Structure 1
């Protein structure tokens, strides 16, 4: 029977870790008698793995992929070939491990794979099985900002003819007040519909999550609808603006876009439900990130595609008529902020923006020259002096 009991790992913080962070904690165990050990260590590692099977029978094929991100090891009792004797009783050893600063994906667990960051304690003894204990830690990547949205309003539009069984066409402009948020946040989405057809229709809003697994040259996709909302009916030959408070579930995981074998993406889908027709759709990418990494712009109302210079996302051609662009942005009021706490407010040192500068400078007005002395200006010559 092993003399080692209650081998546990305790971390000094239970919050998520990120690139470059240091993990500190205590390794504890109880010995029922004096015990000779070769070493006692704590190891931290990060890894990604996915696997799935396609087909059946003779056509069945399996795919799998593995990526290792880092391995760091700390010996609390140094390796010794002859062994070190630890006395009977309860032992507590402090450990310290540093996560590399390189880009690594956030923690993830899905149907066909996972991204895990774990601590593993190990007590090695000569001619005996090693005693081990593991603890999984939460990891939130800072590198998500390199591939994410801006946190500012985004929009898109589509213009579509209804069809041969109905006259006219429909124009849909969709926007969201910001494209970056955290789990549990609420966004505001807008749909402006100009219906010149003879059909009635309803605007619909939904948030979709897409998970992709990549291995052996093949890709496995899975989709999930996290939120759905239906607006009021838009009657024929009418124009209306519909809004929706889009709730991001608190259980939503972060975007993953820096892993070669697993990716997680979100989109806001705004479309018009028209019977017996292909629905006009506007798709706007969303980024879900930790609260400490999201700094959205000042929330604004439903602007058309192209407002504030934001890009347009749509599978359809641009509308036939141009979009209006605001002429300026007002100064926000000075605000206090604590960036370390994840506040969305601007810090005191952040620059404040006034109205946009004109595209072309105004022509300079030439001022009359000023004499530096007190002499009177020369009078023009008389007529008699000239002739």
Structure 2
């Protein structure tokens, strides 16, 4: 801060050990204002907003095209100081809340302004920070004076509410694939794959049971992978990136033999949760188990995997499928999950100023380049594991 304002900050009170919030929770806190001399304030207010935003640029120089979309979930606002001429006026797309108000003259010293909001009871996506977009829930205080303004913000971590509707995530998934060998061999192989359930929390272990009957003349290898896919949608344009969190090839199954395996996949604790309830951002995971066969397509079984925050843990099933004798394989080497996005160049934006950094100047911190380890996929429609991906519609300028 500069001039007569020594401090302007916003703080909230945690309501649980994980320091998270969900639909319907109460957010209480204080705005702290410290001034070195008396000042006159035109307005001072605090807002709580929930928004999603995607943005990327394709091409270069004169042929570049920027795509962007935005989704707003709510905007709650409480005034501490408001110009008398604007009192009782409604504001577009804003829910005004009324608390204690104060006079426009602020004397030297430290002042604390309490606020209280309730998050809407609606189905909103969890907090998310991806390579081309984000979902954010932000507290922002703004103080306006003649020819001057100051602001500060703090982000909340929002998670989905465990409302008892996730019972289907406790159900196991099962699939079978058969393949006849016609090239460089003969016979048939079959594979049945079963997972202990569908939904897992961060840091939990996925247990996969695999029965293989290799009645062919070829040796095969067991392969498995867990793929993370992020989809960003701006109008009719779609951008997809993916990353293999786990990708392993192991255990040889010789010709004319049967084998049973139990595979353990430990999920990283900082793995991003699944997002299905956002129009412009999707976060999905796919488990793939296949048999590696040379010179031909590999038979594979694919399952969706739902990643949940710790508060929504699905209890593990007790034991493997009936008649299954487990074979404990070594733990696979997990691919490290990338951490936070790198900071933007100095001066582009200040993350403590606006809930949508750089919005006023049109500058956004989301880079056009992909995060290390992410692979861009061709522009495509919304991901459907049962359909092939096709090129999306022509470019539409923003």
Q: TM-score, normalised by structure 1?
A: 0.74
* CA apart distance, 1:114: 1.0
* CA apart distance, 1:169: 1.1
* CA apart distance, 1:133: 0.2
* CA apart distance, 1:228: 2.9
Q: 1:164 to 1:257 in 2, by over 3 A?
A: same
Can you list the C-alpha shifts for 1:97-141, whole angstroms capped at 9, x where unaligned? 11111111111111111111111011122x131110011111112
Structure 1 window deviating more from structure 2 (29-38 vs 66-75): it is 29-38
Determine which of 103, 106, 125 is the counterpart of 2:123: 103
Matched, 1:114 2:118: no
Q: 1:303 to 1:113 in 2, by over 3 A?
A: farther
Q: Which has more radius of gyration?
A: 1
Cα distance between partner residues in 1 of 2:209 and 2:284: 21
Cα distance between partner residues in 2 of 1:157 and 1:231: 20
Can you list the C-alpha shifts for 1:54-92, whole angstroms capped at 9, x where unaligned? 345776433211111100011234544596212110111
Matched, 1:12 2:24: no
RMSD: 2.6
How many equivalent residue pairs?
307
Partner of 1:182: 201
Q: Please list, as runs of the form range in 1=range in 2, the aligned pairs for 1:185-334 lying within 5 A after superposition.
A: 185-296=204-315, 298-302=317-321
Q: 1:241 to 1:280 in 2, by over 3 A?
A: same
Partner of 1:156: 175
Matched, 1:23 2:48: no
Q: Is the 8 A contact 1:149 1:286 kept in 2?
A: no
Structure 1 window deviating more from structure 2 (159-168 vs 258-267): it is 159-168
Q: TM-score, normalised by structure 2?
A: 0.72
Partner of 1:372: none
Partner of 1:45: 49
Cα distance between partner residues in 2 of 1:205 and 1:144: 33
Matched, 1:129 2:148: yes
Partner of 2:192: 173
Q: 1:173 to 1:87 in 2, by over 3 A?
A: same
Q: Is the 8 A contact 1:150 1:296 kept in 2?
A: no
- Runs of 5+ consecutive residues of structure 2 not aligned to the other structure: 87-102, 324-384, 387-398
Q: 1:162 to 1:52 in 2, by over 3 A?
A: farther
Q: Is the 8 A contact 1:193 1:239 kept in 2?
A: yes
Matched, 1:64 2:68: yes
Q: 1:190 to 1:162 in 2, by over 3 A?
A: same
Cα distance between partner residues in 1 of 2:234 and 2:166: 22
- Runs of 5+ consecutive residues of structure 1 not aligned to the other structure: 305-313, 316-387
Can you list the C-alpha shifts for 1:183-227, whole angstroms capped at 9, x where unaligned? 111121121110011111111221111111111212111111112
* CA apart distance, 1:235: 0.4
Matched, 1:89 2:109: yes
Cα distance between partner residues in 1 of 2:296 and 2:164: 39
